[in-house]
Amino acid sequence: MEKSNTVEKESLLSKLKRQSRILKKQVYTLFFAYKDPRVPWYARVFIACVVAYAFSPIDFIPDFVPVLGYLDDLILIPLGVSLALKLIPVEVMEDAQKKAELMQTKPTNWMAAGVIIFIWLLLIALVIRYTMKIK
């Protein structure tokens, strides 16, 4: 019984690693597709948001928050990626996938991190202001 659970865990872990690699490649593909002028403007706006958030070193919900901390990593990013991929023309997708294959390092988006920090600071300020009015 113990061996069976270990095999199941290993297969689950290997599946998660494989899915993670696929997601990473898809984000790189979106990164290159965004730059292509053949992509419609509305798709570029959505892709820019998804890629910026995926490459941002800071999350809306910090990972140390129990359960919710990984919500964006497990649901929001994959959902955004899958929707964005549907907006890309086939020929652009093929070109972007070729470029993504050659990608070695992850670009870091500090602009998106700045926006997320600003949102958190704004929320903290609103909470402080609200709690000061109550007292």
On whether the CB atoms of residues 23 and 78 are closer than 8 A, the answer is yes
Say yes or no to pLDDT of 35 above 80: yes
pLDDT attached to residue 105: 61
* Full DSSP string of 50-67: HHHHHH-SS-SS-TTSTT
Task: Using pLDDT thresholds of 50, 70 and 90, give the confidence band for residue 127.
Answer: confident
Condensed to tens digits (0 to 9), the pLDDT of residues 106-121 reads: 565 677 677 777 887 8
Distance CA 113, CA 43 (A): 22
Amino acid at 104: Q
On whether the CB atoms of residues 84 and 34 are closer than 8 A, the answer is no
Between residues 96 and 120, the one the model is more confident about? 96
Condensed to tens digits (0 to 9), the pLDDT of residues 37-74 reads: 999 999 999 998 888 888 776 777 777 777 777 777 77
Residue 25, burial from CB neighbour count under 10 angstroms (0-12, 13-18, 19+): middle
